[in-house]
Structure 1
Amino acid sequence: MIDPRLFRSELEQVTAQLQRRNFNFDTVAYQALEDRRKEVQVKTQDLQNERNTRSKAVGQAKAKGEDIQPLLDEMQDLGEQLKQAEVELDSLQTQLQNIQEAVPNLLDEAVPAGRSDADNLEVSRWGEIPEFDFTAKDHVDLGEPLGMSFDLGAKIASARFVVLTGKLASLQRAIIQFMLNTHINEHGYTETYAPYLVNAASLRGTGQLPKFEEDLFKVSHDPDFYLIPTAEVPVTNIVRDVIVDAKQIPLKFVCHTPCFRSEAGAYGSDVRGMIRQHQFEKVELVQITTPAQSAAAHEELTGHAENILKKLKLPYRKVLLCAGDTGFSSAKTYDLEVWLPGQQKYREISSCSNFKDFQARRLQARWRNPETGKPELVHTLNGSGLAAGRTLIAVLENYQNQDGSITVPDVLRPYLGGLEVIA
């Protein structure tokens, strides 16, 4: 959530910033609510002061033996007026907060202008795009003979589910284990196990609620439980309502979980195969840091995700998302896009974001600044390190052979008992 003080002191600047995202903020309606809130707040304070004055007068009159009934009648009338004012004030504050919670984060100055992913800025490329002396297949055609079944997924659950068996299931497990070990042993993250079900407060803290409820799977028999869309939610909530010791910062967590998304509105080529599933595996990186360190932490975290792709020798490109494509809670996001020979294009495999204090304000996640001795909001960051299903897709397509077999990347072989080829 944006600092509410900015809505009061810099409303025009906030509105102009939001327009970079193509987000039109109704300043007239907001200002009318804010003006009314100020009026009612002043009225409430005046009524409280008047009630206190009358209460003292009742005590003084009673001590003198005077008739206090008229004063009591006035007190009752004041009490009713105060109650009405407090109810209206509470309603106005709730309306203002609901508006504020629906407003996206302010963008970092480095974010380029643009309206869609077509306007994203390519920062770099790594790796050589493989050349085959045969027509490259996509992961669906490669995977089905090897144990990838979308028909079984549909029979057991519905469309957009998959069943992996045999060596393909082992390959995905190997990818996850490799990523976890790399982030823990080489990048300094603390392995974390977190719930796959979270309450509404947790989702509100990281920005999924209220705006993106339709993208979530809600547990029907418990209205406060949701399946996690990403490990970002439970892991970032570790610091909700916490004041972190400065000596502990930065906090660096890595967490493997399944992720569940309704994918409302998803369509087109993404419906085919494992690109966009209702359930998928992901290794998530989360950092909690100070405002002064967050820009460097963003580059570092993105580099950690890139390192996985480099170790797997998967060609990819790094893009800086434009204003219109940057996510709701993010101030700045890099996407890593891996090359998929079967589609002859780069596809997103990781999204690494700096949320600055946007999530922390909702979470009341703070650190104690040793220079001031006072609690201040932390900055939160996260990124996929990587999405396991899409990494599996990239391995299948980039390491395919003419006979449909898959050469196992060198770094994954120790996790598969030395297996070199999946056939």
Structure 2
Amino acid sequence: MLRWIIFIIIYIIMGFYTLQALKTATRYPWVYYATTLISLIVLGNFIYQFTWGSEAGRVLSRPKSYAFGLLLAIITFKIITIIFLFSEDIFRLFAAGYQKFFGTSREFSIPTRRRFLSMVALGIAALPFSALLYGMYKGKYNFKVLKYNLEFDDLPDTFDGYQITQISDIHSGSFDDRKKISYAIDLINEQQSDILFFTGDMVNNKAEEMRPWVELFSKLHAKDGKYSILGNHDYGDYIAWDSSEAKASNLEDLKVMQREMGFDLLLNESRYIRKGEDRLALIGVENWGKGGFKKAGDLKKASAAISADDFKILLSHDPSHWEEQVIQDAYHYHLTLSGHTHGMQFGIEIPGLIKWSPVKWRYKYWAGIYEELGQFINVNRGFGFIGYPGRVGIWPEISVITLKKKHNAV
């Protein structure tokens, strides 16, 4: 309870401070009242959703997500405005002090706030505020097909030009627009790839979240099949269960559901894709993540049935596994496909110029293609979303990777 009180007090103080910029920038009282009312409604909804209106345990429901997203937008607006106003207030205090001790007047009076600076502060603060609202309204379903060509010296000849589609982090419990998801399914199928991989986090917490979407995702197809692995959210570790049996049953239901949709779920296992005398080895590990994330992945067990000479594609949900274990392994894993980071669902990307997200401070490999020791990884930015119910700058991704045989010049 004390945490809520402290949070409310800070929020209200921030509101009063931001209101000063509005009063300086505009002379219309209705603007102050409307802004204050909206701010209080957003705060009230957030408190309600995360206390009396919340679901049992730590389930992050859609109402909770939107309550968080709206509050995040409001707080971001306030913080940016306050940064500008606070810097001006320091200047105003110094100016008043200088006037008192060195000026012609001995009276201490703080200069009035400059209207121009208040308007600049509000204008700049409106940019991320608008972006966060756009991210919730449109950005979360702004699906992008990102295409990559990767060359390998030892790619089997018959797999030259072999095309892979990868999706990751579906997080079906967050979906709220069936038409948009149907569009994305069609977009995936339009790529006409040879094989389809899903690299974990089908749900937020419970298998039942996926049930309304089974029919749609069953429509996904690829000539050489669909393969999947589990992500950290699929195990149901982030909510309170009535019993360990209920949790285990939930995981089993999710496994069955994946198979119903036509996915070959790899649980520390391997498969071969064959073309005549040539073959690719597919290896799928359960989740392995550094820090406090589940470490159920067993690379040795998953690779036990394959040969060191095989061309290998590894499915591993968390890219920290590649960093910590895979690239240093005795086996050479030519291509690893991961997800997990979502690119934090927020950042700035201009191809060829900039690729930035705060998630880079947590994950060295967080989005796109990387190469280390002659091995590649693609970190998919994710299909869905969780927590903040939107995306800004880091759009939902469908990865299309074409394997190429490197032909060295004579």
TM class by shorter-chain length? under 0.3
Q: Of the two, which has the highest radius of gyration?
A: 1
- TM-score (normalizing by structure 1): 0.26
TM-score calculated relative to the size of structure 2? 0.26
